[in-house]
Amino acid sequence: MRLIITENITLDGVVEATGGWFSPEGGDSDSSDIVAELRTMMQSEDGLLLGRVTFEEFRGYWPKQTNDSTGITDHLNRVPKYVVSSTLDDPRWENTTVLSKDPVAEVRALKEKPGRDLGVTGSITLCHALIAADLVDEYRLFVYPVVIGSGRRLFTDGASCKLSLAGAKPFRSGVVLLTYRRS
C-alpha cells in the first residue's frame, strides 16, 4: 500500500486546527467541490492510519453523524482503521486495530500488505514520525489561504525530503490542493 498524508494546512505550514482558520463544514463558501475531491480520495483508500488523539476525536464525532451527505461517515465506519497507541486497549469503533508496538515497524508492515492507499490525516505527532522514517509516498495538502504565524507544522525543523509536484487543483473557496510525491 502507498502511505498518503492528507492535511489541511495554512500558507505558512500550520496544520494544527486552532484559532478558527479551518472549518470542516466549509464555512460560508460552497465546498461541494472539495467534498467531491474527498470522495474520490476515499474510493482508493483501503485503510486509515491515525494517532490516538485524532482517532479519539474522530470516534467521538463521526459515528454519531446521521445526516452526513458527504459520505465521510460511511467511509470512516467501513474502512479498516489503524490507531497508533500504547495506552488504548479497546478502540470501541468497528473495523479498528490498535497498533501498540513500534509505530514505524508496524506501518512498514502495513505498507507491505496488498492494497491501494493507506491514508493518514490529522495525527501530527504520528506524521512527524512517518516523515522522519521516510515512509510517506505522497502528500495531499489542502492549502487554506490564511497565515496564522504559529502552531504545529507538518514539517519540523530539520525535516528533509525531495518531492515532485504531482498535481495542483484550486477550489472555489480559494483552497488549493497540492499533491506531492517522493522523488
pTM above 0.75, yes or no: yes
pLDDT tens-place string over residues 4-34 = 999 999 999 999 877 776 665 445 567 889 9
What are the residues facing 117 on neighbouring strands? 2, 45
Quote the cell numbers at residue 156. Answer: 519540523
pLDDT tens-place string over residues 110-167 = 999 999 999 999 999 999 999 999 999 999 999 999 999 888 999 988 888 899 999 9
Strands (E), 74-116: 81-84, 96-99
Categorise residue 173: left if φ over 0, alpha if ψ from -120 to 50, beta otherwise. Answer: alpha
Are 72 and 42 contacting, i.e. CB atoms less than 8 angstroms apart? yes
Domains along the sequence of the chain with CATH? 2-182 (3.40.430.10)
Read off the DSSP letter of residue 44: T
* Alpha-carbon gap, residue 69 to 131, rounded angstroms: 33
Residue 41 binned pLDDT confidence (cut-offs 50, 70, 90): very high
Half-sphere exposure for 1 (CA within 13 Å, toward CB): 22
